[in-house]
Amino acid sequence: MHVGRWIIVSTAVTFAAGNLDRLLMGKWLSVTELGIYSIAFQMVGALTGVGRSIGSRVMFPILAETARMSREMLYERLRKGRLLWLVPTVAGLLLLSIWGDVLIRHLYKANYHEAGWMLRILAAGAIVATINQTTGIAWPSLGDFRLIAVFMAVQVPVLVAAMYLGRLWYGTPGLVVGIAAVELLMWPLESFLVQKRHKLWQPEIDLPCLAMSAVVVALGAVLHR
């Protein structure tokens, strides 16, 4: 009962955080703009969904068993699992962040080409999301569903604020940037919490990945000028 109630709460707030962008965009964007955004969102989701599936079906049971049997081995197994999840996913997202518009032009008619710049922005933001997800897989493995609920409850108002301010300042592009930036805003908090409670923050993975991705995304932006 103690664990189950927090699973219910964490599931509810996770669902809200994962779908709130499209709920709000239905109010702020036209049907055409929302449809174009959905194309970009689904393409990013198709790539990141593979990693999430591996994390929930493979990493979660391995880490949960490791936590029960030997906490000393947990850090190393988490590190290896994160690398196997991060490397191919981030590589694919970097490609989309540079050439996502090219992909859209080859796959869709001219009416949908606006999804290209959205795809590039969302793919860049999804890199940080993947870093957070690979860290966050440790929480359910340790039965810390309460922390998941608290973290996602914080993320919901951050998402709303980022979307609102982005739209207020820069219109639709700002709105998309606000959505993509949420995970970057949440990364310090997630890193702090996972380190404080479980000593499992892995800066040797996070920091190089963030730095390398920032350089590549910046170079991609320069190439498109």
Judge if pTM exceeds 0.95.
no
User: 45-92 pLDDT, tens per residue?
Assistant: 999 999 888 888 889 999 999 998 888 899 999 999 999 999 999 999
Alpha carbon 41 to its chain centroid, in Å, reads: 12
Alpha carbon 223 to its chain centroid, in Å, reads: 25
Q: What is the CA radius of gyration of the chain?
A: 18
User: 159-170 pLDDT, tens per residue?
Assistant: 899 999 999 999
pLDDT greater than 70 at residue 115: yes
Measured over the CA atoms of residue 196, residue 197, residue 199 and residue 201, the dihedral's sign is negative
Query: CA of 55: how far to CAs of 67, 72, 105, 188, in Å?
Result: 16, 20, 32, 21
Q: In one letter, which amino acid is 66?
A: T
Whether the CB-CB separation of 87 and 209 falls below 8 Å is answered with no
Domain residue spans of the chain = 2-223
CA distance 100 to 126: 13
User: 176-217 pLDDT, tens per residue?
Assistant: 999 999 999 999 999 999 999 899 999 999 999 999 999 999
27: left (phi over 0), alpha (psi -120 to 50) or beta: alpha
